[in-house]
């Protein structure tokens, strides 16, 4: 009986020692991750009002690059901050009197800030919700127009806001979670408070005035590189 008690006591001490050793060897979770980001936002045309030139704003997308910092709250959640620079083409087109559609584009740029809350779902897959704030200096400081040989014409004036804010959600997938340099592609969809592009178009000689906008809905595809 004494031998049995001694064996049980020895086993308990051994298990306690092994458990303590495992806890000591378990690496501490990093509080911060840093990295950079590449991606693209997609903006979609709204339904254009009927007009003599079939004038409309066209779909466009940005070329996005930026830096990010991620704060790990616990094993299953984190917060990401990202500052991005974007290049994109502002596009519009017309189709008059049976001719093919023709258009033009202007290269522009803007900055935006992402704030995202990330939550672990299943292996390597995270769900996130967030907000995006963008700034485009002098966004509406442009004008233009066109006309035809029969005296019909139009003029365009930019009316979009310099600031915009939106809500978004999406999924992130970590390709190599055990690596020190992690690659994380993601997809996102969101809604902005204001249209990405907004124009006032006046047609002559009728003086018909219209508002043309891109949809408030947008999508994004991107990749985070974290270390």
Model pLDDT for residues 182-215, shown as the tens digit of each residue: 999 999 999 999 999 999 999 999 999 999 999 9
What is the predicted pLDDT for the residue at 130? 99
Only one residue has tokens 């809905």, namely 217
What's CA 99's distance to the chain center, in Å? 37
The per-residue pLDDT for 89 is 97
| Structural domains of the chain, count | 1
Token pair for 173:
């997938």
- Quote the domain boundaries for residue 157: 32-226
Does some domain include residue 152? yes
Low-confidence ranges of the chain (pLDDT < 50): 2, 4-9, 12, 15, 17-26
Does residue 9 sit within a domain? no
Nearest to 197 by CA among 62, 85, 96: 62
- Using one digit for the tens of pLDDT, what is the confidence trace for 70-96? 999 999 999 999 999 999 999 999 998
Residue 159 to residue 119: CA distance in whole angstroms: 38
In this structure, is residue 19 part of a structural domain? Answer: no
Max Cα–Cα distance, the chain, nearest Å:
113
Instruction: Please indicate, yes or no, if residue 68 is contained in any of the structural domains.
Output: yes
CATH of the domain at 50: 2.40.160
pTM, two decimal places: 0.83
**pLDDT value of position 68:** 99
Average pLDDT, the chain: 90
Cα separation, 145 vs 200, whole angstroms: 11
Query: What is the per-residue pLDDT for 28?
Result: 62
- What is the structure's pLDDT at 4? 47
Cβ proximity of 84 and 37 under 8 Å = yes
pLDDT score at 119: 98
pLDDT of residue 151: 84
> Does a structural domain hold residue 44?
yes
| Spatial distance between the Cα atoms of 129 and 115, rounded to a whole number of angstroms | 9
Position 50 in a domain? yes
In a domain, 148, yes or no: yes
d(CA 140, CA 160): 5
- The pLDDT assigned to 175 comes to 97
Instruction: Give residues with Cβ within 8 angstroms of 41, minimum separation 6.
Output: 61, 62, 64, 86, 88, 218, 219, 220
| 145 assigned to some structural domain | yes
């Amino acid at each position: 009986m004494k031998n049995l008690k001694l064996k049980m006591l020895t086993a308990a001490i051994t298990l306690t020692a092994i458990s303590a050793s495992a806890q000591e060897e378990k690496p501490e979770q990093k509080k911060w991750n840093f990295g950079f980001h590449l991606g693209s936002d997609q903006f979609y045309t709204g339904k254009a009002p009927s007009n003599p030139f079939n004038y409309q704003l066209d779909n466009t997308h940005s070329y996005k690059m930026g830096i990010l910092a991620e704060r790990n709250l616990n094993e299953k959640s984190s917060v990401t901050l990202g500052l991005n620079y974007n290049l994109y083409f502002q596009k519009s087109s017309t189709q008059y009197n049976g001719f093919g559609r023709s258009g033009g584009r202007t290269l522009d740029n803007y900055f935006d800030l992402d704030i995202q809350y990330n939550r672990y779902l299943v292996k390597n897959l995270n769900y996130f919700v967030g907000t995006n704030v963008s700034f485009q200096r002098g966004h509406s400081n442009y004008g233009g127009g066109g006309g035809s040989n029969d005296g019909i014409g139009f003029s365009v004036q930019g009316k979009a806001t310099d600031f915009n804010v939106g809500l978004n959600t999406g999924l992130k997938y970590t390709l190599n979670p055990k690596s020190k340099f992690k690659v994380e592609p993601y997809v996102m969809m969101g809604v902005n408070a204001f249209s990405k592009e907004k124009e006032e178009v006046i047609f002559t000689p009728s003086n018909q005035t219209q508002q043309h906008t891109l949809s408030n809905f947008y999508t994004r595809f991107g990749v985070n590189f974290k270390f």
